[in-house]
Amino acid sequence: MAGCGDRPGSAEEVRSFEEYDRPLLDAVAMLAPGEKAVLVGHSFGGQILALAMESPSRGDPQHPVETIRYGPRYLEQRLYQLSPPEDLTLAKAATRPSRRFLNDATMNGAILTAERYGAVRRVCVVAEDDAMLSAEFQRRMASWNPGTEVRGLPGADHMPMLSKPEELSEMLMEVADKYR
């Protein structure tokens, strides 16, 4: 995503949620006609995928910059508490501020349509031992999107790709096979 990871620039330079999402939108647009893709979003990534499902072509609204960055103790106690220590160390070193886009029109759900977003099969993997978002809250969020299949992943913290990588991979393969 723009302003994240090893991409140049900072979160403050990204003016809209759509601009933040642009790398994914461009990748989806490059799929060959009829080609399918399994898109996996993590945490805030679910909202990113919702925009990719709609693939809008609007201009960028201007909004004040609001960023968030988790501190080392929060990462250790809430996000990576069941993950390998080396992954926590890497996260502490690589964490950058990110945007929340609270006032962006895309984030208020106004652009999601039954014809596009509603037509995409969705599966929510609940990280059962997430200390940031309780399993109950994750299930409640999934229930706000009718038609979303919910699968639990016991022993997973907020970073299931690190705390339960084999189990998550197996689950994603099952989902891909089911919805082929």
Report if residue 114 sits inside a domain: yes
State how far the Cα of 179 lies from the Cα of 135, in Å rounded to an integer: 24
Contact (Cβ atoms closer than 8 angstroms) between residue 128 and residue 153: yes
E strand residue ranges, the chain: 67-68, 98-99, 123-127, 149-153
Report if residue 20 sits inside a domain: yes
Contacts of 112 (CB under 8 A, 6+ apart): 50, 53, 54, 118
pLDDT, tens only, 141-169: 899 888 899 999 999 999 999 999 999 99
Report if residue 47 sits inside a domain: yes
Report if residue 81 sits inside a domain: no
Q: What is the pTM of this model?
A: 0.64
Residue 66 has what pLDDT? 45
Residue 160 has what pLDDT? 94
Report if residue 131 sits inside a domain: no
Report if residue 36 sits inside a domain: yes
Per the structure, how many domains does the chain have?
Answer: 1
Listed as ranges, residues in the chain with pLDDT below 70 are 1, 3-7, 44-45, 55-69, 96-111
Residue 173 has what pLDDT? 93
Contacts of 150 (CB under 8 A, 6+ apart): 123, 124, 126, 139, 142
Q: Which two tokens stand for residue 73?
A: 């103790």
Taking the alpha carbons of 54, 55, 61, 63 in that order, is the dihedral positive or negative? positive
Residue 180 has what pLDDT? 84
Residue range(s) defining the domain that contains residue 18: 1-66+101-120
Residues annotated as part of the active site: 43, 130, 158
Report if residue 41 sits inside a domain: yes
Report if residue 148 sits inside a domain: no
State how far the Cα of 25 lies from the Cα of 19, in Å rounded to an integer: 9
Residue 104 has what pLDDT? 67
Residue 67, phi then psi, degrees to nearest 5: -120, 160
